[in-house]
Amino acid sequence: MRTPLRIGTALVAVALMALGTTACTTEEPLPPLEEGQTEITVRGCTPQNPMIASNTNEVCGGNILDASEAKLVHYNADNAAPELDVAESIESPDAINWTVKLKQGYMYQDGTEIKAHNFVDTWNWAANDNNAQMNEFFFEMIEGYNDVKFTDPDCEDDACETAAETMSGLAVVDDYTFTIKTYEPTSNLLVRLGYTVFAPQPDAFFADTSAGKVEFAQAPIAAGPYQITSVSDTAIVIEKFADYSGAYAGSVDRIVFKIYNDANAAYTDVVANNLDVTDLVPADSLVGDVWKTDLVADDGSPRWGTKATGIFQGMTFSPETTDPGMADVRIRQAISMAIDRDEIVDVVFNNARKAADSWGSPVVDGYKPGQCTNCVFDKEKAKELYDAAGGYPGPLELWVNGDGGHEAWSEAVCNQIKNNLDLECVVQTTPDFKTLRDRIGARELKGIMRAGWQMDYPSIENFMTPLYATGASANDGDYSNPEFDRLMRDAAAASTNEQANLLYQQAQDLLNKDFPVMPMWTQESQFGYSTKVKSIKMTPFSTFDFSTVELAS
């Protein structure tokens, strides 16, 4: 009698184990492509937030929205120059009062038309603190922005109130015209309006009553060349919008963003031709240019590319009030000259960065190379300047955040300073980026601190005003020069772009003289593609230009 019972128990046990596997829910496969339709697979990742442009600032959701949203201004895929898309014209007599005229008949994916109120309502909604959108700061130049912020910034749950519901600087004139009034002259407003956060939401968005518009975000409707058709945990699918009204129609019928949590897996899949495009090449494949030999088509042609992106990395010198040892400009210049940027770029970054010689990124309008003469490696002159200034009461602290892979290059920089200036240098890390920012904000850190800046819009101005204007939000070194501030104001009010750029370049000469921040490097993105793709372009924003993808026949 015992034996059958025991076997029975064993069977129950095995059945329990198997339960999980059989109870598996399989996901619905994608419908097959119709005859003659094309498809590519692209590396994707899980969006961190509901897919609403004003609450998306990471690439996972951003890359999708970039393809699905139509904006007033489209950035050229090669040089990021602004081109009018939904806008017919954006004009201003004084760089303060702007009139935006829209193209008529520009349609959303649900068949409704983009009208002026869509823009005004979207911007008012996104900027309002009651909606707690991550990207609200993009609207800060519009008059009335301060009135839609909470009156008490540290408000407790219920005591949060804004002075107004909408921004006074926005007004609808008629169905196809609206006006923008800015606080200050903003001659580059047009350049700013191309970011997805400015894309208009359709009426369906405002009809959604769910908290944070999460229901709308499940299947967002936009007016761009691609429509989001399915979102699952393994893939996000966008399909070409047949009735797209703009000039940047997609070249591939269906794009499948396959979800990867790891850059290595995606890269290996591209090498094996299982995935068509990846925008990430893992650091260990960059060593010795291994990736360039991995990614070669059968006919020997490369299936990889690089593109300069709008990311600037520098080091801020601690302000005089925190670190009196940094007060002498010669000390700061000596430290900068003691660093051989090219060597670090080559050895540590495997050429995934470019040594910076200016304050900004080469992808933006108004960038001029060679502005930073103190960025040229010259250890004799560095030592001379350093000794003449009487030296720094060491050890010099170099502050980076510990969660961004900054250890290798900071050690290299420190060693060069040590060797070339005979100045003791120690790398200090904070547990994460936020702690670094908090401690810099409290002006606690001495020595030099990492300063990264990713552009919000492709203009040299974005690399200057927020970082070096007196009292600006990211002015970590407390730089203040009335002449610099004047140049910023004049440039913002300039009537032409060329004139403005000249003034920005003059301001960079001041930065070179006063040297509050030393440029370190600008970033390059690497990408790879399968043999199925003949050519694909990466934009200066590290996204792909899906309107010009060519497939191998």
Partner 1 sequence: MGKYILRRLLMMIPVILGATLLIYFLNFSLPGDPLAGRCGDRPCSPAYEAAFRAEYNLDQPFIVQYVRYLGKLLHGDLGTNFYGKSVAHELAIRYPTTVKLAVIAITFEAVVGVLAGILAGIRKGKFIDNLVIVSTLIFISIPVFVVGGVSQYLFGLKLGWFPVTSGDGSLEQLLLPGLVLGSLSVAYAARLTRTSLVENLRADYVRTAKAKGLSTARTVGIHTLRNSLLPVVTYIGASFGVLMGGAIVTERIFNVNGIGNFIWRSISQRDGVSVVGAVVCLVIVYLVVNLIVDILYGVLDPRISHD
Annotate 169-206 with DSSP letters as a single string: TEEEEETTEEEEEBSS--TTHHHHTTSGGGSPPPHHHH
Chain centroid to CA 240: 25
Residue 272 CB, nearest distance to partner 1 (Å)? 4
User: In sequence order, which residues have a C-beta less than 8 Å from that of residue 540 and are 6 or more positions away?
Assistant: 75, 79, 80, 307, 308, 309, 310, 363, 364, 458
- Element containing residue 315 per DSSP (H, E): strand 304-317
Q: Which stretch binds partner 1 (CB under 8 A): 68-76, 155-163, 475-483, 539-547?
A: 155-163
- Determine if 432 is a binding residue for partner 1 (CB under 8 A): yes
Size of the site for partner 1 (CB under 8 A): 68
Q: Is 474 in the site for partner 1 (CB under 8 A)?
A: yes
What one-letter code names the amino acid at 391?
Answer: G
Pattern 323-342, partner 1, x by CB under 8 A: --------------------
Using DSSP's 3-state secondary structure scheme, residue 73 falls into strand
Residue 6 engages partner 1 in binding (rule: CB under 8 A): yes
| Continuous H helices in 193-254 | 203-207, 214-218
Nearest to 30 by CA among 228, 183, 256, 206: 256
Give the HSE-up count for residue 291: Cα atoms under 13 Å, Cβ half-sphere. Answer: 27
Q: Quick one: which segment of 270-278, 296-304, 352-360, 500-508 binds partner 1 (CB under 8 A)?
A: 270-278
Report if residue 172 touches partner 1, rule: CB under 8 A: no
Residue among 39, 113, 129, 485 that touches partner 1 (CB under 8 A):
129
User: Between 153 and 471, whose beta carbon lies closer to partner 1?
Assistant: 153
When binding is defined by CB under 8 A, the residue of 31, 33, 58, 89 that contacts partner 1 is 58
Among 34, 35, 157, 298, binds partner 1 (CB under 8 A): 157
User: 271-304 as b/e, with b when 16 or more CB fall inside 10 Å?
Assistant: beeebbbbbbbbeebbeeeebbebbeeeeeeebb
CB closer to partner 1 out of 391 and 452? 452
Does 31 sit near partner 1 (CB under 8 A)?
no
Site for partner 1 contains 274 (CB under 8 A): yes
Q: How is residue 200 written in tokens?
A: 């208009």
Choose which of 99, 137, 354, 378 interacts with partner 1 (CB under 8 A): 137
- Per rule CB under 8 A, is residue 403 in the interface with partner 1? yes
Residue 259 touches partner 1, criterion: CB under 8 A: yes
Q: Binding of partner 1 at residue 2 (CB under 8 A)? A: yes
- Relative to beta strand 226-231, strand 235-240 is antiparallel
Q: What is the DSSP letter of 33?
A: P
From the list 230, 264, 428, 531, which residue makes contact with partner 1 (rule: CB under 8 A)?
264
CB 305 within 8 A of CB 538: yes
Could you list the residues that contact partner 1 (CB under 8 A)? 2, 6-7, 9-10, 13, 16-18, 20-21, 23-27, 46-50, 57-58, 129-130, 132-134, 136-137, 149-150, 153-155, 157, 160, 212, 214, 233-235, 258-262, 264-266, 268-269, 271-272, 274, 403, 431-435, 437, 441, 452-454, 473-474
